[in-house]
Structures are given as structure tokens and as C-alpha cells.
Structure 1
Amino acid sequence: MAVTQTPSAAHDGSRIRRRELAAFLRSRRERIAPERVGLPRGRRRRTPGLRREEVAQLASVGVTWYTWLEQARDIHVSAGVVDAIARALLLDSNERGHLFTLAGVADPAPDTSCSGVPDTVLAMLRQLEPMPACVQNARYDIRAYNRTYGALLCDLDEVRPEDRNCMVMAFTNPGWEAGLVDREETRRLMVANYRAAMAEHVAEPAWKHTVKRLQRESPEFRELWERHEVVQTLASKVKRFRNPHVGLLNLCPARLWLAPQVGARLVAYAPADEESRERLEKLLAIVSERA
């Protein structure tokens, strides 16, 4: 027999979650020394860690609104604001996930480390070297990559996990942009493909977060997005990349779907000519020496 949750039980659950959220925010706030976030300690500081108004300032939210959160009041919390608070409180990936769960909203920029990628797939990425290869989802979030992919267009290890998105970097990362030889066409097709794929995810915060971020940060993206162009898949023709270490690379992309086509895929780039093959081997040697 199915069990139906009564309105009072649902209300109690929401109240408990708000209390847990308030306690969690206080505990994370009180552990951060002001110096860690560039704030002076001062002589009259009685609060351990940061003050509420300092967290609000760092997250660019209202002091009253943030105070209400720590008082467990019943207020609406948007994904964007929770994201800002998570950054202000220097939360790690586990703490960030816990915060979004307590807030009852989906994380618009989930952890993009290798977590969730099976060990067998990670082994495949390593075995494909020197061919650059990565695992990405339909939103272009890079979930895992091998060494040559990590050095293909920029030093991907130096990019924040939440920024490791091919489309985001194509519009906002100078090194990634410079490495796209056919930049205008590549970006146009990526935006059109993203719009087509988003049709099945229009209500999901993570998809909308990427669009809003790029509309805010890139006039070029805004112009392309307003065209409303759609393509179902990206062309598999030879792609040209200009690597800062070995020069021009002519590569043929191949995609292996690890889930239905709205899910994860393994993308590998095979050399289109002998010169590109030799340069990929040279690139692997360079990144191997760094390890």
C-alpha cells in the first residue's frame, strides 16, 4: 500500500531542513578566518570566523536576506544565490552538494572532477594517449580527460572544475579561444547544438545557468544565442587546433556514447595526418616530463 505524506509532515520536513541549513551556514561561516578572504580582523571582533554581513558582502546578497537564512525562515532560495554563498564560504565539493540539498535546489555548476566516471572509462582515456580524449556530457561539461587533452588548448588542470566546460571556455578562456583555428564556425555550431539539446532540458537549472552566465560574460555568445539556430549533432570533419607547445594539429573527432545521446560521451581526436601524429607524440612527451 502506498504511503501518502500528509501536509503537516511535509511542513515539518521543510522546517527541519531549514534548521539544518541554518546550522550548516553558521558552522561554515564561523570556521573561516577573515584573512583567508582578504578581510581585516580588527580589534573588536567577537564572532569566530566571518560575520553575517561579511558573508553577504562576499556573496553579493542582502544582509537581511542572508540573516533570514541563518534564522531558518521560510524564504525562497535561488540556485544562483546558493552558488554565490557556496563560493563565499569556500565550500569543497561535498559541502557544496550538501548545501544545495538542504536548500532544495539543483546545483547549476556541479562538480566536474572525475567522480562518477567508471574506472574502466578512465583506463580507456589513458590507453588512447597520445590521442587527446575526454568524457563530457550534453552540456559540454568535461567530466574526465587524459594528459594530451589536458594540454590541447590550455592547461586544463589550472582551470577551475566549475569552468571546465567546452562552450564556456570557447567564449571566455583566452588560451582555449586562441587554439581554435576555425573559431567562429566552431562556436556557432556549439551554440546551435546546445540550443537543440536544451529543448529537452529547458526547466533544468544547470542548462539555464550556463546560458545566463555566457549571456552575461560574452557579447559574442549573446549574438549567436539570439539567432536561434539549431543543429542536432556537431559535424565530424577534421578539426584544426593550434597548440602552444607543438603548433597546428589536424584531428578527426570520434564520439562514443556512454549513455543515451542526452548523456555522457567519450570524445577522442585521432590524427588526420602523419605530421599531426608526430606532434601528438611530442605533446605527450612534454606533459609526461612535467608529471
Structure 2
Amino acid sequence: MIRNEALAAFLRDRRSRVEPRRVGLPSGHRRRVPGLRREEVAQLAGVSVDYYARLEQGRQPTASPGVLSSVARTLCLTDDERRHLFALAHVAEPQPAADPGDPADERVRQLVEAFGDTPAGVLQPMLDVAYFNAAAAFLYTDFATMPAHHRNAVRWTMLAPEARERWGAEWAGAAADLVGLLRLHSGQYPGHPRLAEITTELSERSPEFRQLWHDQTVSTWQHHVKTLWHPAFGVMSFTNEYLTVQSAPHLSLVVMAPAEPQRFAAALRAASGSVGSGVRGGVSGE
């Protein structure tokens, strides 16, 4: 039998820390152990006592996202503890829908602008472009000039002639990276309406996307050094990274560090005024 002792130990420890009054139960004087009883957690989480007991004994190595979410709520877990619970159960944590009013969005936007001459941008679920700095607009394209539902990194890469021009010989690798990321997002955000919109359009219009999607291509970020070609300034190399934003897990930060920062900064200054200073509000913010 596969056991999950780490999950079991974490659940037992967090159950012992919950004050009954915190979840609407009387404390009483007859409690022989601190915290909640197993049957109380099971009842509040909406699962059977036997099922929850198996989780705490390590005999139930994992659980569905819905059960884990209910248990996390019952045990009053913090965001970090909740993420740890899902990691111990080897289950992808459901991500919340983007909230345009979330203060974390503004903090991340300020961070992107602070990169200055280093291209940086933020992607929403399904790789919709939320916002980017002027350096990223110069390097790639000015998404602010596009209709809201066209501001998608996969869509631009697969359909825009400009994208193939910028990526040159590295276009196929960049396309595979982005389609692989889209596949990962499809698992993190099941039933997200943008997934059907994007995959339907691109399957009809791009044979390369259709093949990559059919092949179940999955990746986080395979190519960390990229070379792009700019029509006014020639070949430029970058080290890039794709990061999940800790304070806003529905957002992803993409940063492209120029191999020749002074040359790139000079090119950016020479082109100043030809691109916008940034854009706020992708598909969900329109």
C-alpha cells in the first residue's frame, strides 16, 4: 500500500492547532486533546469520518482538489499552508480567477515598470497579456494596439508574421515553449473559457499549433537563452525566465535580460516614442 506519511503528519499537526471556537464549535472542558477532533474536521469539510481518518493515517495518499480545499478551509490554513497541503498530496492547486481589483496586480505592475530597460511583462491564465513595459513592447510588439481578445502570447506567436520575423530560426522552439505552457495552464484552470477560444481558433488557422497541441506538448520553459532579430537594430540575445508571482499565483512574470544591456538600452532610447510606455488590463481587465 502506498502511504503518504508527510501529508498525514501535516494534517494531524494543523488539526491540533485549530481552536474549536474559530470554526464555530464550543471549546468545552471535556476535550482531552488540543484542537479539533477528526470527526469534527470530517463533518465541517463534508467528507466521511473514515475517509478523513485514512488521510491522517497516511492510508489515503491523496485526495481530490475539492476535498483538499474543504480541508484547508476547515483547518484555517494560510495561503502558504494551503499550497503546501496540495504539494504534499501531489495535486495541482486550483487557481483563483483573476480579480482586476486585486492589489497584487498593481504591485506586480510596479515591479514590471521597475525593470526599466530590461524587457518584462505579465501574463494571465491561458497566456493572455496583462501588461508589459516599454522595453518588452519594443522587443516584441505593442499589444496595446490590438483588440483585447488578440492580446495573447500564443496567438501572436503562431499567427503574426512579425513574430516569425522576430524569432527567425528560433521560432519553432519559442512556439513549442508557449504551446507547452498553454497545455500546463489547461490543467491548472480546467474549464477556463479562454482555452476553448484560443485552441479552436489556432487549430483552424495554424497547422503548427494543431500538431503541437495534438502531440500533447507540455513544458515550463525549455529554452532559456533566446536570440531575436529587430528590423531596426539587428540580432539581440537574451536570457529569459518565466516565473509564477507568489502574491498572485494567477499571474506569471516573463523577464528577458539582454546579453548586451548597453546596446539594447541604446536601441530602446533611439526608438523612444515609437511604442507605448506599457499596457494595463488584458482580456479580463477590458
User: TM-score, length-normalised on structure 1?
Assistant: 0.54
Deviation at 1:212, TM superposition (A): 0.8
Q: Match of 1:283, as an amino acid?
A: L
Q: CA deviation at 1:192?
A: 2.3
2:214 pairs with one of 223, 226, 233: 226
Correspondence 1:1-291 to 2 at 5 A: 118-181=105-168, 182-231=170-219, 233-235=220-222, 237-259=224-246, 263-272=250-259, 274=260, 277-288=262-273
Flag the 1:237–1:154 CA change in 2: closer, same or farther, 3 A.
Answer: same
Q: Which has the higher contact order (CA 8 A, sep 6+)?
A: 2
Aligned partners of 1:192 and 1:289: how far apart in 2? Answer: 32
**Quick check: which has more Rg, 1 or 2?**
2
Q: Once the two structures are superposed, what CA deviation does each residue of 1:122-177 show, in whole Å capped at 9, x if it has no partner?
A: 22222212111101124111101111111212333322222111100011111122
Q: Distance in 2 between matches of 1:258 and 1:159?
A: 25
Cα separation, 2, equivalents of 1:209 and 1:290? 28
Q: Gapped runs of 5+ residues in structure 1? A: 1-109
The amino acid that maps onto 1:170 is T
260 and 227 in structure 1: CA distance in 2 versus 1, 3 angstrom threshold: farther
Q: Distance in 1 between matches of 2:265 and 2:158?
A: 25
* Cα drift, residue 288 of structure 1: 4.1
Contact 2:134/2:275, CA 8 A, preserved across alignment? no
How far 1:262 moved relative to its partner? 5.8
User: What CA distance in whole angstroms lies between the structure 1 residues aligned with 2:222 and 2:242?
Assistant: 11
For structure 2, list consecutive stretches of 5 or more residues without a partner in the other structure. Answer: 1-96, 277-286
Q: Which whole-Å CA distance do the structure 2 matches of 1:216 and 1:237 have between them? A: 30
Counterpart-to-counterpart distance in 2, 1:165 and 1:135? 11
* C-alpha distance 126-193 of structure 1, shift in aligned 2 (>3 A): closer
Task: Tell me the percent identity.
Answer: 21
In structure 2, what is the Cα distance between the partners aligned to 1:147 and 1:169?
18
CA distance in 1, matches of 2:174, 2:273: 29
RMSD over equivalenced CA pairs, Å: 2.9
Equivalent residue pairs, number: 178
The 3 A distance-change label for structure 1 pair 256 and 284 is: farther
The separation in 1 between residues aligned to 2:162 and 2:127, in whole angstroms, is 17
What's the counterpart of residue 31 of structure 2? none
